[in-house]
Amino acid sequence: MTQKRISLVLLVALLFMTSFVSIPTKTSDVDPSDLTGIRVAVYEGVTDEQSSSLSSRTALFWMFRWMNATVDVVNAADIRNGALDDYDIVAVPGGWAWAYFQDLDSSGVAKIRQFVENGGAFFGVCAGAYFACDSIRWEGAYIAYSLDLYPNIGNGPIEEIAAWPGHNMTRINLNKGIDGPDLSGEPDSHTVMYYGGPYFETSGTDGVTTLATYDVNGEPAIIAYEYEQGRIALSGPHVEWEEDADRDGVAWENVYDDDGSEWNMMLQISLWLSENSYETTTTTSTTSTTAGVDPSPSLPPLEIDPALGLAGILAVIMIAVIIDRLRK
């Protein structure tokens, strides 16, 4: 065959071979099993003593890493400078909510509100939950807050559990089979750490789902709802702390005993929070990932069936040779 005909044969063979290639595609139809591809910003206050709790934000960091999220710690200056534009979830730990307003000032508070309004997700625990409320009632004193992501009141401390500044383990009862996060696989209750967090008033507030209630008073302990284009979950107790393991990076297991982890529950809540952010990758044969493995998100390689590919190349070459001989 001439060089021109050989080139043509090779081109046809290549085209034939690529018909057996499985090409990765973007799809929103695959149910995610973890937070691979999701970016989480954990807020850090100015000082541990006067702002965010080191142990709370450490546990949040490792909890979201366990979920396979990409996690960074951001401070008030980062948020004021627009850092949240690069994230899907902002998580605000326990600590001192009033100091958060001082750290962030009005421009940082506005950045967080805009982030959620534009489709971001917010998770606040203990002080982070107080921070999101329109107002709080602390030891009977009423205090107005300005973030206003939750248009109702956070009440605390709950003295039936522990008078401030004390802490204790307490039971929360889950509301399963509800709209929102899928808690159907969870037990009916969890034993969690309480350290002065709120219960949430929900009367007159539309669209709020109570995910769990305090066993001692029946009041909402964890709530979830949509806010503009974004989503929010707030927890009074410290669901990020693991009292029976050290995988959270802190040492509460040396103080209390737990009867099971809340991280699986938090995974379901976090999946719901980040639902609008998912862009999962699949091929003709998909596999799911397991929470707990460091993320390494990438497109899977092209997949070729070797036998079919080789058979296709040989068939094209043989046809080309036969045609060439018949023309001579």
Distance set, CA 5 to CA 9, 75, 319 (Å) = 6, 65, 12
Q: What are the residue ranges spanned by the domains of the chain? A: 3-26+296-327, 39-282
Contact yes or no for 59/240 (Cβ under 8 A): yes
Chain segment 194-245, per-residue pLDDT in tens: 999 999 999 999 999 999 999 999 999 999 999 999 999 999 999 999 998 8
Provide φ and ψ at 288, rounded to 5°. -100, 155
Provide φ and ψ at 285, rounded to 5°. -125, 110
Per-residue confidence at 290, pLDDT binned at 50, 70, 90?
Answer: very low
Is the predicted pLDDT of residue 118 greater than 90, yes or no? yes
Which residue pairs from 163-168 have beta carbons closer than 8 angstroms and sit at least 24 positions apart in sequence? 164/139, 164/196, 165/196, 167/193, 167/194, 167/195, 167/196, 168/193, 168/194
Sequence-ordered list of residues with C-beta below 8 angstroms from that of 304, at least 6 positions apart, any chain:
17, 20, 21, 22
Chain segment 166-184, per-residue pLDDT in tens: 999 999 999 998 889 999 9
As a whole number, the mean pLDDT across the chain is 82
Whole-prediction pTM: 0.76
DSSP 77-125: HHHHTTGGGG-SEEEE-SS-HHHHHHHHHHHHHHHHHHHHHTT-EEEEE
Per-residue confidence at 296, pLDDT binned at 50, 70, 90?
Answer: very low
Options 1.20.140.10, 3.40.50.880, 2.60.130.10, 3.40.50.2000; CATH for 39-282 is: 3.40.50.880
Per-residue confidence at 21, pLDDT binned at 50, 70, 90?
Answer: very low
Measured CA to CA, the distance from residue 35 to residue 304 in angstroms comes to 29
Is the predicted pLDDT of residue 322 greater than 60, yes or no? no
